[in-house]
Structures are given as structure tokens and as C-alpha cells.
Amino acid sequence: MWKTIIRRVLVMIPQLFVLSLLIFIMAKFMPGDPFTGLITPETDPARIEELRIKAGFYDPWYVQYVNWIGNAFQGDFGRSYTFNVPVSNLIGDRALNTLWLALLSTFLLYLIAIPLGVLAGRFQDSFLDKSIVFYSFIVYAIPTFVLGLINLFFFGYELGWFPTSGTVDIKYDSGTAGYLWSKFYHILLPAITYALLATTGVIQYLRTEVIDSKSMDYVRTAKSKGIPINKVYSRHIFRNSLLPIAAFLGFTITGLLGGSIFIETIFGYPGMGQLFIQSVNGRDYSVITALVMLFGFLTLLGSLLSDIIMSIVDPRIRID
């Protein structure tokens, strides 16, 4: 199995190289330069030109690329044009916020979707199955921002059960139990909203898989052994049906790490999605470049994670 993982990691290197090259070239096509934001009517054009030369603006593109990628490797993506702080600092805080939200969302998603999908598949065509399918289609039809706003309005404002924005209550000191609880409390409603919306895919997938597995030959073999039907489900049908879900797990997690623009904007949660929208609106190129590079990396990481998970759960994929 280690062989499989190492092989996959090695494959990632050329992928990352091509990705970074593409991002760099696209960034070069964008108008403006790091000094555009500093220009005022009083600025001497000669001074700007001098700064440009000093910053390497007229170096050949490959020299610039090597400088950029070299710095990026050390976590230096330059400074944000609008916030005037290092991009890495800017992303760092947001990334942590998004990470917690992503983990809780994923956890809740599978907590809700797996039992529903398995039950619907097992009791196919029953009232329970029909209700679950009905629920999943209703949820599928609701746009994110609608459910987000409804939840925010009812549970946040009307009932006051949940905080309506931010990541933590300012009255707590960092590191205390109350602080951690407050953080958790703030991500709960956005996480539930996300999880509910994402359940449809998992439920439908799992339901179909369970129904397919039921008619598999190995399930008939299991039944012919005379083991209780519940065991046939837990040991044979359930495990095998989870394979495609496991395959998506990596993508789901890293996809969430990119941040959900709708969820974060509606719940006023400062995460990666919000940062991305802000930087695009503010033409904050250094942040955009860094974020696109990061999202691309996360996508690759997601497929790596999925492959690793698959090689753990499916013995047929391992390279011996």
C-alpha cells in the first residue's frame, strides 16, 4: 500500500508544476503590477519605473517564474494589494476557520446521509424509502442561499438559537473552554445548512449502490450460508456499497476547504470563500494567484486522499 501512495505522490509533482505554470502565465496576462495601488497623482513615473526594475518586472518570464515559485515554496506569496499584509498571513487565519467548518460539515453530512441512504436502499419502495427520496429531492431543489437565509432568519434571528455571524464570541479569551465552545457554536448552523444541502448526492448514490448490491452473487452466497439478514447487510451489502462514497470523501473534504462562498457570505463567516470573493472584487491579484494555486493544490490533494482511502478499503486497487 505504501508503494501505491508514494507513486501517487510522485505523480503529483509534475501536476503541480503544470498548474503553477498556468497560474503564473495567467497572472502575467492580468493588467496592473504590484505598484499600481501605490500610484497617486504626485508619484513620479520615473520612480515607479525604477521600482519596477528593482522588483524584477522586466526580467525574462522564466526568471520571474522561478523567483515566484521559489518564494511560494517558502510560504511567501507576496503582499496583499488591498490589505497590505503578507498574503500567507491573510490566508492563514481564514484557512483555519474554513478547516473547522469543513470538518464539521463533512461529519454532519455523512452522519445524516449514510443512515438515510442505507435505509432507503434496504427497504426499497417502502413508505420509508419514498419519504427519504422525497426529502432528498426537496433538498436538492433548494438553492444554497435560500436555505441559508431561511435558517439564518428562523434559527438565528427569530428563535435566537444560534449566533448570526462571526467565528467566536468576543467575551471569551483565546484557549478557554468557553472560547472553543463558542467557536463550535458559531460554525454549527452554517455546517448544518451545508450538510443538509449536500445530503442528496450521498443518499441517492448510496441507495442505488445498496439496491445493486442486494442482487449481487456474493450476497446470494452470503444468504446461502444461513447468516442472519442483518449480518448480510452489515458485513456484505453495506461495506461494498460504501466504496463509491469513500471514493468521493477526499474530494468532498478538500472541496470544502476551498470554502463555500454562499455559506460564508450569508453567515458572515470569514473563511476562504469570502476571501476569494473579496480579492476578486478588489482586484487583489497576489491573493487571487495564491488562492487559485491553493485550490488547485487542494483538488490534487483531494484526489490523492481519495486514492489512499480507496486503496485502504478496496483490496483490488492495491499494488503489491
Which residues bind to other proteins, rule: CB under 8 A? Answer: 216-218, 220-229, 231, 235-236, 239-240, 243, 313-316
CA distance 29 to 23: 10
* CA distance to 38, 44, 46, 52, per residue, from 41 (Å): 10, 8, 13, 18
Which residue, 47 or 235, has its beta carbon nearer to other proteins? 235
Q: Which residues contact 143 (CB under 8 A, 6 or more apart)?
A: none
Residue 126: CB minimum distance to other proteins, A: 10
Which residue, 49 or 314, has its beta carbon nearer to other proteins? 314
Residue 229: CB minimum distance to other proteins, A: 7
Which residue, 52 or 214, has its beta carbon nearer to other proteins? 214
Q: Which residues contact 156 (CB under 8 A, 6 or more apart)?
A: 162, 163, 164, 189
Residue 234: CB minimum distance to other proteins, A: 12
Which residue, 84 or 221, has its beta carbon nearer to other proteins? 221
Residue 314: CB minimum distance to other proteins, A: 7
The identity of residue 134, as a single letter, is: F
Residue 221: CB minimum distance to other proteins, A: 5
Which residue, 213 or 278, has its beta carbon nearer to other proteins? 213
Q: Where are the alpha helices (DSSP H) in 123-270?
A: 127-141, 144-151, 177-214, 217-224, 229-231, 238-241, 243-257, 261-266
